[in-house]
Amino acid sequence: MVKYELTVTDTIVNFSGKEKRAIAVNGQIPMPTLVFTEGDTAEIHVHNQLRETTSLHWHGVFLPNKEDGVPNLTQMPIEPNTTHIYRFPIIQNGTHWYHSHSGLQEQIGMYGNFIMLKKESDPSFRKGIDDLPTVPIVLSEWTNFKPENIHRMLHSANDWSAIKKNATQSYSEAIKAGHFKTKLTNEWKRMMAMDVSDVYYDKILINGRPDTDLKSIDDKPFKGGDNVRLRISNGGASSYFWLTYAGGKITVVASDGNDIEPIAVDRLLIAASETYDIVVPIPAENIAFEFLATTEDRTKSASLYIGNGIKQLKSPLPRLKYFEGMKMMNDMMKMNGDLDDMGMKMSLNQMDMNVVMYPEITGELKKKKGDQKDKMDMKNEHAHHSENKYNSNALSDITTLNYAMLKSTTKTSLPAKAPVKELHFILTGNMSRYVWSLDNKVVSEADKILIKKGENVRLVLYNNSMMRHPMHLHGHDFIVLNGQGDYAPLKNIIDIMPMETDTLAFNANVEGDWFFHCHILYHMMSGMGRVFSYENQAPNPLIPNPKLAQRNLFADDRKFHFMAENDFATNGNDGIAMFQNTRWSIGTAWRLGYNPMHGYETETHVGRYIGQMQWLMPFIGFDWRYRKIEIGEQEKNIFGQTNTKDKRNLVSLGFNYTLPMLIIFQTEVFHSGDVRLQLIREDIPISKRLRAGFMLNTDKEFMVELRYIVNKNMGIRTHYDSDMGFGAGLTLNY
């Protein structure tokens, strides 16, 4: 029996210049590393001293379902000032980690290493690998924003993160880069600016620090010629990290806690929540070699210096060529929002479309047409014209790990005689409303997926969304069908890039309700997942009221997100406020003039978004407006109907439809019989911080605006409005 006491408390940290709330366990971030040996029984006492509920999930660990730590699914949340005891036998070995599965707590400190050691007597014990000096490492990110706020801003298409990352991809930047047409096509196809990640972080942390010196293990200083094993977990809430090393090749020896045949690579991308065990050499005396973890968007990194002496740095990864990425996405995106792989049958990260953005693989940005060839060698040149266009390893001498290279050290074939259940899922979603789902259904909209104990479950996953998703299965390892036959690697996470299809299989061998979800925290909280449930299983004693638990579980993706904006201008006030969730939108817009001639109006629309891309939203509207007009003035709309835009108290039916160029076409029929058609485009990115917009309708009203974004909550706006005239002012947004 190995026992740990974990006390969860609120704390204040200062990772990036500001004091912010975080959550510590036993006073530390990351949470303490828990170490067991295969054959132990783990007993973990969790004392919740927060003012909110919590939970701990043992990621990648085989255990009885009620110990899995998913609140409202495998147990009830751990209430404040109570203790919950997790107890389970350790029946595997390998590098894993643990984290809170409650709300967004994982983002603010609740992640830690969970190591299960292999016994020396184990027949799979590898001399030269399993007996190396070892360091557990958990990677994570820090943001000075509250995670709740990040989640809300993602849902209201706030592009502050892109501004901070210098990744707005505005028209002026496009023109400067010679990519005006690329930008036009992008907006024609109704895409927002593309990026490889959604959230801007202030700091990247390795074991809680941006920079760490690793000079010894167990008081034994390193010497040249030593090898070190790093057990790396990606505890980041939404980041993928490139791992590179200044001291030579990285030898990967295990993935998601499972041994693989050692493979030497120059770099690997570790997906959110994935784990890799790697061996790195210390090739020389008196030098500390930099081990570098860089976010996929290459804006931030953290370093670990391994060895004693002068620091030898790894060159940082160059900035992404965003417009090349945009061009690639344009080619892949069909007008209906589906992705088109153009017959490439992509899988297992072997073809990485993002290579078009990597200067170290596809050359520096070309300055003028004609001189793009100088950076490419012949190999590169050849690959560019073949099916290897996106094959990073064929395009350069840099070897990047992909899933096809993983080969288990032991046979992993599933029980041959078991019945097979095959399930297909399409990973779906859209960036503009930040909705993420499977088969266009979020957790609360889908039934549990029933499986039978003993059967082999095959999952075929196709990613039809524009983001990559690290899909994670609780309680089981699956084999990834990657061409290695009986030696297919065992994993519990698989990263699936846009347009990839991957096939996984696992033997259903432990009863329970097991969560299967995207491990990007903000995608999971938006509802991207399913529950696998065993048929005819015994009830979970920790879920006394299954109906209540389910309602709480579903509340996560049913949540409404609030946003509001008001422009305090010289000619009046106008603004909007909206509550939105996965499908529903309740929004009010207002214009309040400073005198009766300018008038007052509010429009409220309650609508529901239809389809995966959510371009269509039928709504019911409530309009109220008043404007004093000159005697004898009588206006008609373009249909010759008497215009009620000056005095109106109406109910309406209508719809919004997003046209190419992201223009919203609105049709509204009022109960008086009047009809109004309207075109609106907001947030045209003119430059990094300048946005333009316009509105025009059949009541002969129009508006044009320019807005300069000062910070996350403030802008300076100038506009001309057909009713209220010219105005300038300050916009505050939440």
Q: Which spans of this chain sit near Cu ion (rule: CB under 5 A)?
A: 469, 518, 520, 523
Of 273 and 303, nearer to Cu ion (C-beta) is 273
Shortest distance, CB of residue 234 to Cu ion, whole angstroms? 14
Q: Shortest gap between Cβ of 168 and Cu ion (angstroms)?
A: 23
Residue 327 host element (H or E): helix 322-332
C-beta closer to Cu ion: residue 192 or 260 = 192
Report how far residue 109's alpha carbon sits from residue 100's, in angstroms, rounded to the nearest whole number: 9
**Nearest alpha carbon to residue 62 among 449, 418, 512:** 512
- The burial class, CB within 10 Å (0-12 / 13-18 / 19+), for 52 is middle
CA-wise closest residue to 523 among 475, 582, 474: 582
Nearest to 97 by CA among 256, 217, 206, 259: 256
Q: Write down the least CB distance from residue 192 to Cu ion, Å.
A: 16
Report, in Å, the least distance between residue 346 CB and Cu ion.
17
- What's the CA gap between 466 and 194, in Å, rounded? 8
- Output Rg (C-alpha) for the chain, integer angstroms: 28
Q: How far is CA 733 from CA 160, 187, 301, 565, 613, in A?
A: 12, 24, 31, 4, 26
Residue (207 or 526) nearer to Cu ion, CB: 526
* Closest to Cu ion by CB, 240 or 305: 240
Distance of closest approach, residue 528 Cβ to Cu ion, in angstroms: 5
Count Cβ atoms within 10 A of the Cβ of residue 385 and give its class: 0-12 exposed, 13-18 middle, 19 or more buried.
exposed
In the bound complex, what is the minimum distance in angstroms from residue 100's beta carbon to Cu ion?
Answer: 18
Judge whether 139 and 233 are in contact, CB under 8 Å.
yes
What the block records as the tokens of 515 is 């969560």
Shortest spacing between CB 523 and Cu ion, in angstroms: 3
Which of 179, 523 has the CB closer to Cu ion? 523
- DSSP 8-state assignment for residue 412: -
Choose between 252 and 493: whose C-beta lies nearer to Cu ion. 493
User: How many Cα atoms are found within 13 Å in the side-chain-facing hemisphere of 64?
Assistant: 15
The per-residue b/e assignment along 694-719, b for 16 or more CB within 10 angstroms, e otherwise, is: bbbbbbebebebbbebeebeebebbb
Q: Where are the alpha helices (DSSP H) in 159-253?
A: 160-164, 171-176, 180-188
Q: Which is nearer to Cu ion, 139 or 287 (CB)?
A: 139
Cβ of residue 403: shortest distance to Cu ion, in angstroms?
Answer: 17
Of 400, 440, 541, the C-alpha closest to 67 is: 541
Q: Is 342 left (phi over 0), alpha (psi -120 to 50) or beta?
A: left
Which structure tokens are listed for 325? Answer: 């990425």
Decide whether 458 or 523 has the Cβ nearer to Cu ion: 523
**Closest to 447 measured CA to CA, from 472, 469, 423, 466:** 423
With contact defined as beta carbons under 8 Å apart, do 345 and 351 qualify?
Answer: no
How crowded is the C-beta side of 403, counted as CA atoms within 13 Å? 31
Query: Of 272, 240, 238, which Cα lies nearest the Cα of 256?
Result: 272
DSSP strands (E only) in 499-612: 501-507, 513-518, 529-534, 561-569, 572-580, 584-592, 600-608
Shortest Cβ distance from residue 352 to Cu ion (Å)?
Answer: 17
CB of 376 to Cu ion, least distance (A): 33
In the structure encoding, which two tokens stand for residue 173, read together? 């930047």
The SS3 of residue 718 is: strand
Closer CB to Cu ion, residue 522 or residue 534?
522
Nearest CB to Cu ion, comparing residues 405 and 521: 521
Q: List, in sequence order, every residue forming a beta bridge with 25; answer none if it has no partner.
A: 8, 28
| Helix, strand, or coil (residue 91) | coil
- Report in angstroms how near the CB of residue 493 gets to Cu ion at its nearest: 11
Cβ distance to Cu ion smaller for residue 395 or 431: 431
For the CB of residue 524, give the shortest distance to Cu ion in the complex, in Å.
7
Give the integer Cα–Cα distance in Å for 577 and 356: 39
Q: To the nearest whole angstrom, how small is the minimum distance from the Cβ of residue 469 to Cu ion?
A: 3
Residue with Cβ nearer Cu ion (207 or 347): 347
Least Å distance, CB 470 to Cu ion, is 7
CA neighbor of 258 nearest in space, from 372, 475, 412, 122: 412
The smaller minimum CB distance to Cu ion, of residues 271 and 488, is found at 271
* Inter-CA distances, 424 with 421, 466, 481, 497, 673, Å: 10, 19, 15, 16, 47
The distance of closest approach from Cβ of residue 461 to Cu ion in the complex, given in angstroms and rounded to an integer, is 12
CB of 638 to Cu ion, least distance (A): 45
Q: How far is the CB of 436 from Cu ion (least distance, A)?
A: 5
Q: Residue 378: CB partners within 8 Å, gap ≥ 6?
A: none
The count of other CB atoms within 10 Å of the CB of residue 406 is 25
- Rank residues 165 and 469 by Cβ distance to Cu ion and give the closer one: 469
C-alpha 6, offset from chain centre: 29
Nearer to Cu ion, 523 or 591 (CB): 523
Nearer to Cu ion, 226 or 445 (CB): 445
Identity of the residue, 346 or 466, whose beta carbon is nearer to Cu ion in the bound complex: 466
Give dist(CA 727, CA 566) in Å, integer. 13
Residue 76 or residue 520: which is nearer to Cu ion going by CB? 520
What is the rounded distance in angstroms from the CA atom of residue 458 to the CA atom of residue 189?
A: 34
